[in-house]
Every structure is written in C-alpha cells, then in structure tokens.
C-alpha cells in the first residue's frame, strides 16, 4: 500500500485507523501495537504468521554453529502453531565435526489475556528426539516444554517482554529438567512518522537452571539491534552478542542473528519500494 504521509495529517491517519478498528467488534483480537519487536531469545506473546531463520556461532576458533528454522502460523483469533527445526555443526574433536538435524519441536501458543497495552500468552510444546544424541546433536529423549509470555507497551515507544517456563524430559537419565526465564526491553524509532524503516535496540537477559539441588544458574546478557529491511516492515533482521555472565566455565560468547519474514503481510519481495 502506498504511503499517505503527504496526503493526510497524523490526526487524519489516526481517525482512519480508529474507523477501521470500529468495524471489528470481536474484542478477542489482540491490537496490532502489541506485536512488539522480536528479541533473539525471548519468545513473544503475540501470535504470528511468519518464518524465522536464527543462526548462532561461538566466537572461539573453529566455531560451533546452531541454526533454527521456525515456522509459525496463526490459527483463528488467539492460537498459533509453531514448528522449529534445528540444525547444528559442532566441533567434537580437534579434527572432526558433527553436523546434522537436531531435536524437532512442535508447539501451540494461546493468548490468555489482551488489553490496550498488555498481552499474556501460554505455550506448550513437544520436542522429539530426532537428533543424533551420540554425536551431540540431540538429547535422545522426548521433552515437554511449557512457558508463559508477556508483552507490555511502555510510554515513549518503549516496551518490555518476559518469558518464564520449564523443560520436562521423559527421562532425567538422559536430559535434566530445567527452569528458565528471559526478559527483554527496548525502544523503537520509526522513520517517516512510522511509515518507513523501524530501528529497535534491545537488551535481553537469559537465565537457565537445572532442577538439581547443587546446580548453578546460567545467566547471559544479550545486547541486540533489530531493523526492518523494507518499507512494509514485514522483513527484519536482528543481530546481537550473547555474553555469559555467570557459571561461565566451558561457555563461550556467541554471535546471534535472525532473518524474519512476516509472510502474513505479503511476499518476501513485496513492499520494498
């Protein structure tokens, strides 16, 4: 759709948006403003129809690569189906690497609450042992994951997002039970009164701890920067650095980035001019 920046004032555009919203009397739909920028590690509460390719690489010599292709499809008003396919390449010895598909996950997200500035969702998934555990590419056990997610709009184009959950394997002999939480905050700058490119720097905190009594929590800090690539804003990239802050033994810094295509808003090559 062409820009109306030169045809209408900001107040007139707001009036048009208000009229369009008045045509939908189903209050179960979450407001579009709650579709906040996607952090690198924290899952969003907003249901989407998009594809995301995420790549992480350790900064060590001979880096390990972790890649995930996530397909998300919105179902009706408040639900979203998600399928995540991981692919890894890890250094197993000084001269050998293990490369292949990891454990595939299938999950369902459901919006529990939505308001003018807040959205809360619940999520459940099954992670199948499709990766080769003998080569370090999978856990070797089916795992059930559950989490809650929240998104909150703050004044001045700022926002915070949070996630808290647990992973429960069917056998703790092969994989431990874990508890995790993640939080991200940031601010969005918009060009051309919101009709052009968007810039969203964010700071994220990621923590995970095994249920074992003697286990220590892993805490990482993830500064990052998301930017939309086209005028329609449905193709975006995010680049960040994951920095271990506690329980750092054997854990390296990781460069992480993703390419996101919100295909519900159009084809990948549409909306660039």
pLDDT in tens, 162-178: 999 999 999 999 999 99
**Position with higher pLDDT, 118 vs 190:** 118
Number of neighbours of residue 180 by Cβ within 10 angstroms: 18
Length of the chain: 273
pLDDT in tens, 102-153: 999 999 999 999 999 999 999 999 999 999 999 999 999 999 999 999 999 9
Residue 11 burial (C-beta neighbours within 10 Å; 0-12, 13-18, 19+): exposed
| pLDDT tier for residue 200 given thresholds of 50, 70 and 90 | very high
Residue 76: left (phi > 0), alpha (psi -120 to 50), or beta? Answer: left
Torsion 263-166-202-118 (CA) sign: positive
| pLDDT tier for residue 1 given thresholds of 50, 70 and 90 | low
| Cα 174 versus chain centre, distance | 27
Supply the pLDDT for residue 23.
66
**Is 91 a residue whose pLDDT tops 70?**
yes
> Long-range contacts made by residues 214-222, C-beta under 8 angstroms, separation at least 24?
215/176, 216/246, 216/247, 217/246, 217/247, 218/244, 218/246, 218/247, 218/251, 219/244, 219/245, 219/246, 219/247, 220/244, 220/245, 221/245, 222/39, 222/40, 222/41, 222/184, 222/256
pLDDT in tens, 97-107: 999 999 999 99
Q: How many CA atoms lie within 13 A of 154 on its CB side?
A: 10
Q: Which domains does the chain have, with CATH numbers?
A: 10-265 (2.40.160.40)
pLDDT in tens, 241-265: 999 999 988 889 999 999 999 998 8
CA distances to 28, 191, 215, 229 from 71, rounded to whole Å, are 23, 29, 33, 20
Q: Which residue has the tokens 């062409």?
A: 2
């Amino acid at each position: 759709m062409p820009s109306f920046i030169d045809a209408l004032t900001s107040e007139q555009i707001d009036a048009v948006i208000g009229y369009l919203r008045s045509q939908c009397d189903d209050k179960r739909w979450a407001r579009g403003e709650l579709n906040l920028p996607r952090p690198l590690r924290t899952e969003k509460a907003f249901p989407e129809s998009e594809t995301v390719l995420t790549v992480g690489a350790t900064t060590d010599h001979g880096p390990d690569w972790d890649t995930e292709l996530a397909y998300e499809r919105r179902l009706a008003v408040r639900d979203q189906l998600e399928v995540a396919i991981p692919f890894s390449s890890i250094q197993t010895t000084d001269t050998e690497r293990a490369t292949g598909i990891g454990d595939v996950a299938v999950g369902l997200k459901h919006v529990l609450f939505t308001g003018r500035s807040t959205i809360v969702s619940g999520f459940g998934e099954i992670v199948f042992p499709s990766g080769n555990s003998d080569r370090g590419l999978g856990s070797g056990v089916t795992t059930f994951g559950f989490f809650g997610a929240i998104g909150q709009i703050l004044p001045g184009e700022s926002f915070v997002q949070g996630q808290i959950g647990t992973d429960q394997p069917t056998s703790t002999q092969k994989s431990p039970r874990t508890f995790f939480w993640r939080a991200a905050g940031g601010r969005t700058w918009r060009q051309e009164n919101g009709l052009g490119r968007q810039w969203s720097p964010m700071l994220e905190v990621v923590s995970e701890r095994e249920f074992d009594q003697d286990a220590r929590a892993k805490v990482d800090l993830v500064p990052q920067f998301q930017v939309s690539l086209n005028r329609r804003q449905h193709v975006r990239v995010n680049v960040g650095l994951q920095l271990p802050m506690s329980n750092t033994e054997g854990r390296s810094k990781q460069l992480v980035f993703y390419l996101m295509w919100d295909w519900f808003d159009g084809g990948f090559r549409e909306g660039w001019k």
